[in-house]
DNA sequence: TTTT
DNA sequence: TTTT
């Protein structure tokens, strides 16, 4: 079996870093990836694809990625499910990333930022300022994947790899 | 932007061929893709990933793929949404395939079956017999993506590419 | 069968646009892709991977890519061979791209430049002279991209896709 | 940077297992991957793509793969070079695989044979093995996989990953 | 022959 | 030098 995904897109929001009860870092963000064609209403649309990173990569992503930034993500598709408060089973599809490249950095001019893998995470970074604008430069699209009341259940059982 | 997925897995059921009002073929199936590691309960798990094909490729898949068969799929992740009968917005993530390889065929011994792309679709649907076996050879897992009451809304607006 | 490559790297030189006798555009460039680890001498190394694009994509690449620019390339590996002037068979491996993303542009600040696919090529077009070399097609072929004295002939038989 | 290749094809010969002086296993084989179109002489052609695997994966490939078998390979493109006996620099392009799937097995009927990885179970960690080491890393290297009179030396410096 |  |  084989399950491989490669995406290039922009973050719809700042990444969210959390920790499992056992202290393992998890970061979630959503990538807006423009579709390669226009809709028949002539608009360019995007797919909003949830991405999850774990451990060191999670820390690095939380430190270096921000809303609007361009990133390349390598990983696999994972489908998990939970029962919501109406007793319905809900399916959640995410890309579990094992490699993230930062394709832009605000302060280093126009250069690639380095790797999400080997990168020493350095300090808190977050470099302030950042954060303008709608994700993709202009269109006011909405990130559908956030605090919509879904129970958040990160457990240490969810560790991939 | 870039959005590329490659999967190898087994069909959880026979593919479902439908037509849009304008007569465009669409085929949906789910691929069970084993995870590359075991859960911490020591079980091997799988992701059940919905795949959609259109037009000629849809016809070919409907003709040649069957429950339990191994296939390779190339495509892109698409996230669409609709409002369910409780007025909640539901997000559906699918792989829109533009290339499918049939990695097994029941009657040609142990050989690859050919391409889903250029393949002359040949005749009649091959419906016969089909349907033995649980998808992954043994485990009785459940395909979560079927007739669970979700409205099916294939429209001609959904044509990719 | 399946053959898919995705690269992100920097151009080692300006791209070279040429035309087949029938006027089909071909652009060649080399991508320097850093390896994901350091050598045991502690140096970071790169692979230098030749990329070939055809037709509209070739024009767009010639117009928008330059030495040092970051690009994402999607395509397939192609291996062709020719007999050199010593009568030895030489094997040439290239990535035939069907999609190129420009991940930096010098004049548009810090934004992605757009697609290599749908891009209107705009200005320069650079039609110039060039023109020989059979590329990719039959057997016993010449490498059109080397001006080191080997015979060159690009023919229109060499069009992929 | 990013460098990802996925291939499905057939082995042109039995794989060749060797060991470095330090006893690290290396296996080389060539995958014949049919092109997705016919030549203008109407023939279907193939690319013959050299694949290299290391360590445990090398042993597994040597044990389970044979000439003619269908396999899926995931890895990265590596370009190394050496100076041949005429003093010319020769460039060798190979896919360094980190995942191989056996898509056919002769004795288990028509089923997929399993993974080339041998996933460690347990919850966390896994990811096995050290890192670093560039295979074909330094400069001026020999191609260890050709017995045509060129000097052979696989060194332990060549370990990838 | 290589990019940052 | 190539597989089916």
For D146-160, what is each residue's pLDDT tens digit?
433 333 345 555 556
Better-predicted residue by pLDDT, D146 or A40:
A40
- In chain C, which residue's Cα lies nearest the Cα of D95? C77
Q: pLDDT per residue over D57-91, tens digit each?
A: 999 999 999 999 999 999 999 999 888 887 888 89
Query: Chain D residue with minimal CA distance to C4?
Result: D6
Say what the pLDDT of residue C83 is.
87
- Residue B155 confidence (pLDDT): 62
Per the model's pLDDT, the better-predicted residue between C78 and B157 turns out to be C78
pLDDT value at residue C82: 87
Nearest to A108 by CA among D61, D136, C110: C110
Higher pLDDT, B37 or A7: A7
Would you say residue D116 has pLDDT above 80? no
Average pLDDT over residues A107-125: 41
pLDDT at B77: 98
Q: Which residue has the higher pLDDT, C139 or D77?
A: D77
User: For chain D, which chains pass the contact test of at least 3 CB pairs under 8 Å?
Assistant: A, B, C
| Residue pair D76/D18 in contact by the 8 Å Cβ criterion | no
Partners of D96 in beta bridges: D52, D76
pLDDT above 70 coverage of chain C, percent? 65
State the DSSP string of chain A. Answer: -EEEEEEEEEESS--EEEE-TT--EEEEEEEEEEEEEE-TTS-EEEEEEEEEEEHHHHHHHHHH--TT-EEEEEEEEEEEEEE-TTS-EEEEEEEEEEEEEE---SSSTTS--EESSS----S----SS---S-TTSS------SS-SSPPP---GGG---
Please tell me the least confidently modeled range out of A13-17, B88-92, C77-81.
B88-92
Q: Of B45, B44, B9, B57, which is closest to residue B30 (Cα–Cα)?
A: B9
C113 contact residues in B (CB cutoff 8 A): none
Query: What end-to-end distance do the CA atoms of chain C give, in Å?
Result: 15
Residue B158 — very low, low, confident or very high, per pLDDT cuts 50/70/90? Answer: low
Whether residue B122 is predicted with pLDDT greater than 50 in this model: the reply is: no
CA closest to C1' of E2 belongs to C12
Min Cα separation C120/chain A (Å): 14
Render pLDDT for C88-123 as a digit per residue (tens, 0 to 9).
888 999 999 999 999 986 554 444 445 454 333 332
Phi, psi at C36, each rounded to 5°: -80, 10
Instruction: Report CA(D12)–C1'(F1) in Å, whole number.
Output: 10
pLDDT at D30: 98
pLDDT category at B154 given cuts 50, 70, 90 is low
Compare all CA atoms of chain A with the CA of C10 and give the residue at the minimum distance: A112
CB-strand contact D148/F, under 7 Å: yes
Nearest 5°: phi and psi at B34?
Answer: -60, 140
Residue A124 CB neighbours (<10 A): 8
Give the integer Cα–Cα distance in Å for C144 and D38: 21
How much is the pLDDT for B34? 97
Q: Which residue numbers of B have CB closer than 8 Å to C's CBs? A: 1-2, 4, 6, 72, 74, 99, 101, 112, 115
* Domain D5-36+43-102: which CATH number of 3.30.420.480, 2.40.50.140, 1.10.10.10, 1.10.3720.10: 2.40.50.140
pLDDT in tens, A71-101: 999 999 999 999 989 898 889 999 999 999 9
Tell me the nearest-neighbour CA distance from A118 into chain C, angstroms: 8
Give the pLDDT confidence score for residue D157 in this predicted structure.
Answer: 54
- Locate C154 and state its tokens: 């690009």
Domain residue extents for chain A:
5-36+43-102
Question: How far separated are the first and last CA of chain D, in Å rounded?
Answer: 16
* Mean pLDDT for all residues in chain D: 76
pLDDT tops 80 at residue B126: no
Q: What value does the mean pLDDT of chain B take?
A: 77
Tell me which of A36 and B156 has the higher pLDDT. Answer: A36
Q: Is the pLDDT of residue B68 over 70?
A: yes
Residues of D in contact with C95 (CB under 8 A): 77
Q: Is the pLDDT of residue B104 over 90?
A: no
Residue of chain B minimizing CA distance to C74: B2
Is B38 close to D6, i.e. CB distance below 8 A? no
Between C71 and C124, the higher pLDDT residue:
C71
In angstroms, the separation between the Cα of residue D44 and the nearest Cα of chain B is 12
Flag if A77 and B81 touch (Cβ within 8 Å).
Answer: no
Answer yes or no: is pLDDT of D120 > 60: no
D41 band by pLDDT with thresholds 50, 70 and 90: confident
Q: Is the CB of D101 under 7 A from strand F?
A: no
Q: Which residue has the tokens 């992929």?
A: C160
Average pLDDT, chain C: 75
pLDDT greater at residue A36 or residue B122: A36
Reply yes or no on whether the pLDDT at C86 is more than 60.
yes
Reply yes or no on whether the pLDDT at B51 is more than 80: yes
Size of interface A-B (CB pairs under 8 A): 106
Residues 6+ apart with CB under 8 A from D143: D80, D82, D90, D92, D150
Chain A residues within an 8 Å CB radius of D127: 161
CA atom of A9 to C1′ atom of E2, Å: 28
Nearest to D112 among B6, B42, B70 (CB): B70
Task: Band the pLDDT of C50: cuts 50, 70, 90.
Answer: very high
């Amino acid at each position: 079996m084989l399950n491989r995904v490669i995406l290039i897109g922009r973050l719809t929001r700042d990444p969210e870093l959390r920790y499992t009860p056992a202290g393992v870092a998890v970061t979630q963000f959503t990538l807006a990836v423009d579709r390669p064609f226009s809709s028949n209403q002539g608009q360019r649309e995007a797919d909003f694809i949830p991405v999850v990173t774990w451990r060191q990569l999670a820390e690095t992503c939380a430190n270096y990625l921000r809303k609007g930034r361009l990133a390349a993500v390598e990983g696999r598709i994972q489908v998990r499910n939970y029962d919501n408060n109406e007793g319905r089973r809900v399916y959640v599809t995410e890309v579990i990333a094992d490699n993230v490249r930062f394709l832009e950095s605000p302060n280093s001019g126009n250069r690639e930022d380095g790797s999400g893998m080997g990168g020493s995470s350095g300090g808190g970074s977050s470099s302030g300022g950042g954060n303008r604008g709608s994700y993709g430069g202009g269109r006011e699209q909405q990130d559908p994947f956030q605090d919509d009341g879904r129970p958040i259940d990160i457990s240490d059982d969810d560790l991939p790899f």
